[in-house]
Amino acid sequence: MNAQTKTASPDIYSRVTDKIIADLEQGVRPWVKPWKGSTAGDRITLPVRHNGIPYQGINILLLWGEQLEKGFQSNRWMTFKQAQALGANVRIGEHGSLVVYANKVTQSETDDKGDEIEREIPFMKGYTVFNVDQIENLPAEFRTQAEPIEREPFGPIEHAEVFFAKTGAVIRHGGNSAYYAPTQDIVQLPIPESFDTAESYAAVKAHELIHWTSHKTRLDRQLGKRFGDDAYAAEELIAEMGAAFVCAQLGLTLDVRDDHAAYLDHWLKVLKADKKAIFTAASQAQKACEFLFSLQGADEQQAA
């Protein structure tokens, strides 16, 4: 198992990172663009397993990217064997998509004093899944069903505002910039009326609240040791992905912020220099999203 871990992990890191880099070089953010498909309207959905359990972290980005590239209508994925167990079959000629599984194994060792100790060894492996649009003869409940989207009128979106309020973050309005000020521990936003849509206002608020989670009294996210001079760009990448994860769970459409176009080159530099950087960023984004949901009531946490 150790030999497999040493040879497989770098390959998985490279395959995933190269895919994200290819998307970014085309100007495509895989955490945003799949939501713009015309088939499913502007509905935002996390990719889910065959049993309806949502994927997390890096797998969200991978499967959103696949959904965009291949035009899948469904957000549900399953393995070849899971399809067979349902009496279905993957269509001939279809190619699967990569997802990853990370965990730790415990290994017993003897230290210098002769005492037996246990050490946790992280490992990662990749496996292949297929979108249900690639599978024939599935039971009716697994088939893609496009539903009409009812758009909310412009104005603050009530359930999103309730979610943001429950975080307890200090949010102030005024000026023409959106930012999180760590020394004051406040989120500053332009007034809601200055945004084009209610969803764009909520998406920007979600972005700044991901930054808010980095405070030392919360997740204490310190990226300097890992990313050095690129820590600021890495934090922006975390905030973009974290906001995407939050918006997906709140059913909101995330707009691409114009001021983040300048970060593309920085992100590409970071990802090309470190094949594990996108995994770190996605993991931190997932933790930030889960932290915001942990501040909600029991019902919201179950929905997350």
Q: What is the pLDDT of residues 155-164, one digit of tens each?
A: 789 999 999 9
Task: With 0.85 as the threshold, say if the pTM is over it.
Answer: no
pLDDT at res. 35: 40
Q: Which pLDDT value is given to residue 151?
A: 45
Q: What is the pLDDT of residue 7?
A: 39
Q: Which of 241, 15, 256 is nearest to 126 (CA)?
A: 15
- How far, in Å, CA of 148 to CA of 167, rounded? 31
Query: Contact 12/224 with Cβ under 8 angstroms?
Result: no
Query: Which is it for the CA torsion 128, 133, 136, 141, positive or negative?
Result: positive
Residue with tokens 């895989």: 30
What is the pLDDT, as a whole number, of residue 302? 45
Return the minimum-mean-pLDDT range out of 123-137, 251-265, 266-280: 251-265
- The model's confidence at residue 200, banded by pLDDT at 50, 70 and 90, is confident
Confidence at residue 304, expressed as pLDDT on a 0 to 100 scale: 46
| Nearest C-alpha neighbor of 58 from the set 22, 26, 99 | 99
Q: How many residues are present in the chain?
A: 304
Look at phi and psi of residue 221 and say left if phi exceeds 0, alpha if psi is from -120 to 50, else beta. Answer: beta
At 147 the pLDDT is 52
Q: Phi and psi (nearest 5°) for 155?
A: 140, 160
Q: Which amino acid is at 296?
A: Q
The pLDDT tens digits of the residues spanning 223-241 come to 987 888 889 889 999 999 9
> In 30-59, which positions are buried (b, 16+ CB within 10 angstroms) versus exposed (e)?
bbbbbbeeeebbebbbbbbbbeeebbbbbb
Query: So what's the pLDDT on residue 149?
Result: 45
- Other CB atoms within 10 A of residue 168 CB: 8
Mean of pLDDT values over 52-79: 89
pLDDT at 103 over 90: no
> In this model, does residue 259 exceed pLDDT 70?
no
Q: Is the dihedral of CA 69, 72, 77, 81 positive or negative?
A: negative
pLDDT of residue 13: 82
**Per-residue pLDDT, 29:** 76
6 three-state secondary structure: helix
